[in-house]
Amino acid sequence: MRYVSTRGSAPALDFEGATLAGLASDGGLYVPESWPEFSKQEIAAMRGLSYVDTAVAVMRPFVAGCLDDATLKRLCTTAYGRFSHDAVTPVIQLDQQHWLMELFHGPTLAFKDVALQLLGQLFETFLSKRDAHLTIIGATSGDTGSAAIDGVAGRAKIDIFMLHPAGRVSDVQRRQMTTVFAPNVYNIAIDGSFDDAQAIVKALFNDRDFNGRFTLSAVNSINWARLMAQVVYYFYTAVRLGAPERPVAFSVPTGNFGDVFAGYVAQRMGLPVAKLIVATNVNDILHRALTTGDYSCGTVTATATPSMDIQVSSNFERLLFDLAGRDGKGLAKMMADFESTRAMTIPADMLAGSKDLFVSARIDADGMSDVMRWAHERTDQVIDPHTAIGLAAARNAGLPADVPVVTLATAHPAKFRDAVERATGVRPHLPARMGNLFEREERYDTLPATKEAIAAYVAERATPAA
């Protein structure tokens, strides 16, 4: 499989190249040259397969030419062997129509483990064949950082520098990053916001001199391999609930549009997806974009769902690429205008192409708390605030009663226990596998929120490109 950039001018790469590059050199995102499609029979044949075997079946076409089945299976077995539930992503029935897909059984309690455990394995496999050393620089509002660190800690040919906004991630999130003492892990608390951290990372990637000295790579969801790993659980769950004969809807708590884009990919591959519900909090750029075509940045409001507090949804570009008939040069122009004006109006004919599949909803703090209480009182489930945004959107969507609606439970409630306690009165316990997280020593450096300070820190510690 070849990968092309959404902005039409970066060279096409194979799966290995796209995984190691992260972002395309023209500023675009890599997508497969075409969507592989499964027949009804091929989907039906996934019935009864384990998670790992489903993963091999679903990802095989995307890695073709770079990984054989046996290698892919070995990597998946290692990655998903670290999950605490045998089914990896089990589903729970809430009522006649609604289900939860639990994506938080990985090492750091959020769905990002599903992708980043595999990405760590892929990096190691690809680097072992080359004389190369990877320097990962990332910014996190909490979940990506801990999952990425867990995915690459201790790997010889990778260093990871993770920036988080000082004082603005939950205590569980911070400790999951700062108590990892592997020699290749560097945690940096910056005196600034998540947006500041992200801007610094972007500036380092765009700095030709700095970028030329190190082999930089990205672990945020602009990396195609992450999205690919997430396509798997849409198949795994839908098949369990009756696909390919019966269409299934999914409600996805959304920030950067990565998780829900993976659902879109599943649909393009032939999975009967009745609807994809894009659930946002009050930072609703995607809800506005999908309902009225108004894709314009506002300011970010801090909420109880920090992983969805975004200004721009990077992966939305991948959907726009398809909606624009895969005209990369045309999209490059639209994105350049967007980057200078911070606003874009999606043409009505382009938007029309999204209406059959996508619906969206904006859920505020009251809507979130109400559904957390409903879930607790009526279904005996304590859910995290992000999941609650998804479930509220699912319950409001008004889908026909015979369509099962699966809400993606993106984080374990203990990861956001203060917010859960405020809404439900219940303080969720950390799972036993977290061990003595609150007794362990923490290690991180605090730096000013400037590109120069971070660049100097990284340059002193990272391994230069060969």
Residues with a known catalytic role: 112
**Which listed range, 177-185, 193-201, 253-261, 361-369, lies at the site for ligand PLP (CB under 6 A)?**
253-261
* Smallest distance, ligand PLP to C-beta of residue 226, A: 9
Burial of residue 301 (number of CB atoms within 10 Å: 0-12, 13-18, 19+)? exposed
- Residue from 393, 411, 414, 420 touching ligand PLP (CB under 6 A): that is 411
**Which listed range, 64-72, 169-177, 256-264, 336-344, lies at the site for ligand PLP (CB under 6 A)?**
256-264
Q: Kindly state whether residue 155 participates in binding ligand PLP, applying the rule CB under 6 A.
A: no
Site for ligand PLP in 345-404 (CB under 6 A): 386
Strand-strand pairing, 91-93 and 98-102: antiparallel
* 89 phi, psi to nearest 5 deg: -125, 70
- Residue from 16, 102, 124, 143 touching ligand PLP (CB under 6 A): that is 143
Q: What is the spatial distance between Cα 124 and Cα 222, in angstroms, rounded to a whole number?
A: 19
Q: DSSP character for 306?
A: G
Q: What is the spatial distance between Cα 219 and Cα 148, in angstroms, rounded to a whole number?
A: 7
- Is the separation of the CB atoms in 21 and 13 below 8 Å? yes
* 44 phi, psi to nearest 5 deg: -60, -30
* 15 phi, psi to nearest 5 deg: -60, -40
Q: Kindly state whether residue 407 participates in binding ligand PLP, applying the rule CB under 6 A.
A: no
Quick one: CA torsion of 289, 290, 291, 293, rounded to 10 degrees? 40
Residue count, binding to ligand PLP (CB under 6 A): 16
Q: What is the spatial distance between Cα 421 and Cα 413, in angstroms, rounded to a whole number?
A: 9
- Is the separation of the CB atoms in 177 and 163 below 8 Å? no
| Beta carbon nearer to ligand PLP, 275 or 386 | 386
- Residue from 258, 263, 270, 328 touching ligand PLP (CB under 6 A): that is 258
Q: Single out the residue of 269, 305, 196, 236 nearest to residue 1, CA to CA.
A: 269
Per the listing, tokens 């993606």 go with 408
- Residue from 120, 255, 263, 404 touching ligand PLP (CB under 6 A): that is 255
Q: Kindly state whether residue 256 participates in binding ligand PLP, applying the rule CB under 6 A.
A: yes
- CB proximity list for 413: less than 8 A, separation 6 or greater: 382, 383, 384, 387, 420, 428
Structure tokens at 383: 């859910």
**Which listed range, 63-71, 248-256, 434-442, 457-465, lies at the site for ligand PLP (CB under 6 A)?**
248-256
The DSSP annotation for 33-90 comes to SS-----HHHHHTTTT--HHHHHHHHHHHHHTTT--HHHHHHHHHHHHHTSSSTTSS-
Q: Kindly state whether residue 117 participates in binding ligand PLP, applying the rule CB under 6 A.
A: no
Site string for ligand PLP, 302-341 (x = CB under 6 A): -----xx---------------------------------
Q: Kindly state whether residue 410 participates in binding ligand PLP, applying the rule CB under 6 A.
A: yes
| Beta carbon nearer to ligand PLP, 16 or 259 | 259
- Residue from 102, 124, 195, 259 touching ligand PLP (CB under 6 A): that is 259
| Beta carbon nearer to ligand PLP, 259 or 284 | 259
| CA dist list (Å): 337 to 29, 333, 340, 343, 420 | 17, 6, 5, 8, 41
| Beta carbon nearer to ligand PLP, 56 or 408 | 408
Q: Kindly state whether residue 221 participates in binding ligand PLP, applying the rule CB under 6 A.
A: yes
**Which listed range, 47-55, 159-167, 247-255, 359-367, lies at the site for ligand PLP (CB under 6 A)?**
247-255
Q: Kindly state whether residue 257 participates in binding ligand PLP, applying the rule CB under 6 A.
A: yes
**Which listed range, 131-139, 255-263, 375-383, 458-466, lies at the site for ligand PLP (CB under 6 A)?**
255-263
Q: What is the spatial distance between Cα 269 and Cα 262, in angstroms, rounded to a whole number?
A: 11
- Residue from 7, 98, 105, 112 touching ligand PLP (CB under 6 A): that is 112
- Residue from 27, 138, 253, 367 touching ligand PLP (CB under 6 A): that is 253
Q: Kindly state whether residue 287 participates in binding ligand PLP, applying the rule CB under 6 A.
A: no
**Which listed range, 249-257, 268-276, 352-360, 434-442, lies at the site for ligand PLP (CB under 6 A)?**
249-257
* Smallest distance, ligand PLP to C-beta of residue 414, A: 12
Beta strands in 63-180 (DSSP E): 91-93, 98-102, 134-139, 158-165
Q: Single out the residue of 209, 213, 229, 233 nearest to residue 221, CA to CA.
A: 229
| Beta carbon nearer to ligand PLP, 216 or 304 | 304
| Beta carbon nearer to ligand PLP, 282 or 308 | 308
Q: Kindly state whether residue 412 participates in binding ligand PLP, applying the rule CB under 6 A.
A: no
Q: What is the spatial distance between Cα 102 and Cα 268, in angstroms, rounded to a whole number?
A: 23
Site for ligand PLP in 71-110 (CB under 6 A): 110
Could you list the residues that contact ligand PLP (CB under 6 A)? 110, 112, 143, 221, 253-259, 307-308, 386, 410-411
